[in-house]
Chains A and B, each alone.
Chain A
């Protein structure tokens, strides 16, 4: 009898341990009183861009399907062509896809055309949200970056929730510790220090190596990372509302000063091929030991610093971007990869289940700790031991994030011609660096005229 009792206790304890372990691996969000099977049998179609967060999502699709009974069909497209596919699909108003990944800038376009469902319709209805979802845990600035009221000139942070963040990027300075040791310099904290460090790091790793990798290609991607963050840190803004119109401020004294600094930075420390540099070239040069610093998205350098990812893997560290003086608030621009819902979707509730599951706390932890999606959109993940352990090799990464995230927001003024105006901006920057204008001011005056012309039809 006694032996039988012992056996029962051991058996029950083993069962409990098994249940707990199984519970961790199975469903990210479980609640006894929430009916995950409500939309069983529905098919949800999702458009993904190729990204590390998507690898994590795809690896958990079977779990989601088992939990909800919802079938998921998906398509993964490389970013270079992804938005052509999204724009075509949304503009057909067929309701296909139900969900799509997007950045905030693209959502300004799509929401202006009425293609985007307001996620507040679901988040605001407690009956539709699993009790332990904890929306307040999603990084607030990332959530706010995806809110916009649709009025050109109005800043993000107010209005409908156009999507929920899956991952994001902020801008900071990544540097090669080996290069800095070799040159005997410390991580620069101010603009002046940055220029001096650039001089010290010329050809630090032999011919062809240089100080700082920054983007310079003739497209909008050149403007939004380090450039826009520094632009804001100089106190410059892109547009101001004047007499019912958005008026470009790119030739303001603050902007001129910033651009003069930027041009000098490129000339003193940038790559000779700067004008064709995108995310990939800039990041690759840091990893290959060509560039000693990278002023770009924080996670760009991480991709080079995973073990065996590049020649300089393990040598890369992060610090807050240089500012006017040490200790100033670092204003960083934002990029978010968000999941948004097609307003023409015929399966909105099932699509919401997908969105809720893959923006949940347990999934965010899984994506960042078990997989390689960095910059998680959940505060709890940033504070978790698992993530700290995972990022231990990325020296200064979490610390830089913590010092920057509260002053991170979208620094552009939302307006419908975002891509046209920023691409023109990048082209002018190239021309200024190439010496096609007598002065920086002359180039920016010409750019202002073009931007004002592009926005002349936009009434506030």
Chain B
């Protein structure tokens, strides 16, 4: 009996030790992965603090300078491009949510002719490479006065953002039992209240996740703003490459531009991380 207890204690101790080692290994592995994943960002920060003369040193010893920040943030109109990008990408996502969520609801709840064809048509906007469709869009925009306007870009960005939001949110609406809506209506809620007070909170994780992804795609869009704007509006994706000129390149300034460019995406991801993880995994485990 005594021996059995001793054996149990030894076994528990062993399993605790194993568990501690496993936990340590896991944490070490995750730390290494975090270092690996964050290294490009760290490298960008280091480059942004180096002068051109020290740029190609591979050792970590250098004299830090803010001259690259000064050149990009104060010496050029980079902030202007940043805000223009914010208006265009933010505007595109807002329009997508306003139009896309009701569209997703309709595709999920109502039966109408050619419903699946329509849904596929929306998805197909993502199929064609942008460079293939840009010439006719350019010509149409020139004719109807949308070339180089905020609205023009917000509109054309719907090709990027709308299919994503509609298809993700449609899946969420389909998962919600129709009885919930009926019960709310029995309790005296009008359809409008049912939609905003019952359904929207239920689809929130999916909506936030897809809206964030849509924002990232819109924020990083290159071909549309390259061709469809440039004189009055120039988004950051185009402007940030300006520091790579035909005759010379200032990698320190490129690093500053890149850091500023990724900052909204990093901040947005950090703030809505909870929704993002839940939103992307929620639908997958539902049966």
Contact = CB atoms under 8 A, between A and B. Distances in A.
Nearest to A78: B241
Given A308-B51, A313-B53, A45 B246 contact: no
Contact of A91 (B135, B231, B245): B135
Contact of A73 (B51, B231, B242): B231
A92 B138 contact: yes
B242 A50 contact: yes
B135 A85 contact: no
Nearest to A289: B56
Contacts of A309: 52-53, 248
Contacts of A283: 248
B242 A76 contact: yes
A78 B247 contact: no
Contacts of A379: none
Given A77-B238, A85-B226, A96-B142, A50 B244 contact: yes
Contacts of B147: 96
Contacts of A79: 244-246
A275 interface: no
A77 B142 CA distance: 19
B56 A50 contact: no
B150 to A, nearest CB: 16
B56 A311 contact: yes
A73 B54 CA distance: 37
Contacts of A313: 53
Given A50-B244, A52-B248, A309-B52, A77 B226 contact: yes
24 contacts: A45-B231, A50-B244, A50-B245, A50-B246, A51-B245, A52-B245, A76-B242, A78-B241, A78-B242, A78-B244, A80-B241, A81-B238, A88-B134, A88-B227, A96-B142, A96-B147, A280-B249, A290-B56, A303-B248, A308-B52, A309-B52, A309-B248, A310-B55, A311-B54
Contacts of B51: 308
A308 B53 contact: yes
Contacts of A47: 230
A94 interface: yes
Contacts of B134: 88
The 3 closest A-B pairs by CB, nearest first: A75-B230, A288-B56, A78-B241
B139 to A, nearest CB: 5
Interface string B217-237: 000001000110011101000
B143 to A, nearest CB: 8
A49 B246 contact: yes
Contacts of A33: none
A283 B238 CA distance: 24
B131 interface: yes
B204 to A, nearest CB: 38
A423 interface: no
Interface residues of A, number: 38
Contacts of A96: 142, 147
Nearest to B245: A50
Contacts of B241: 50, 78, 80-81
A273 B285 CA distance: 47
Contacts of A84: 131, 226-227
Given A76-B234, A309-B52, 6 more contacts: A47-B230, A89-B227, A92-B139, A94-B139, A288-B56, A308-B51
Nearest to B239: A76
Contacts, number: 89
B138 A89 contact: yes
A85 B227 contact: yes
Given A45-B231, A77-B226, A85-B227, A94 B142 contact: yes
B81 to A, nearest CB: 11
A75 B227 CA distance: 11
A74 B231 CA distance: 5
Interface in A313-357: 313, 337
B246 A81 contact: no
A299 interface: yes
Nearest to A97: B231
A300 interface: yes
Interface in A80-116: 80-81, 84-85, 88-89, 91-92, 94, 96
A424 B221 CA distance: 30
A249 B52 CA distance: 43
Contacts of B52: 308-310
Contacts of A80: 241, 244
Interface string A239-280: 000000000000000000000000000000000000000001
Nearest to B136: A92
Nearest to A75: B230
A311 B53 CA distance: 5
Interface in B56-71: 56-57
B247 A51 contact: yes
A309 B133 CA distance: 42
Contacts of A187: none
A311 B54 CA distance: 7
A441 B110 CA distance: 69
A75 B246 contact: no
A269 to B, nearest CB: 20
Contacts of A280: 244, 249
With a 10 A CB-CB cut-off, give which of B134, B246, B247 has the most chain A CB atoms. B247
Nearest to A87: B135
Contacts of A444: none
Contact of A52 (B135, B227, B247): B247
Interface in B39-59: 51-57
Contacts of B222: 81
A128 B246 CA distance: 32
B53 A85 contact: no
A92 B227 CA distance: 11
Interface in B133-167: 134-135, 138-139, 142, 147
Nearest to B229: A75
A301 B231 CA distance: 32
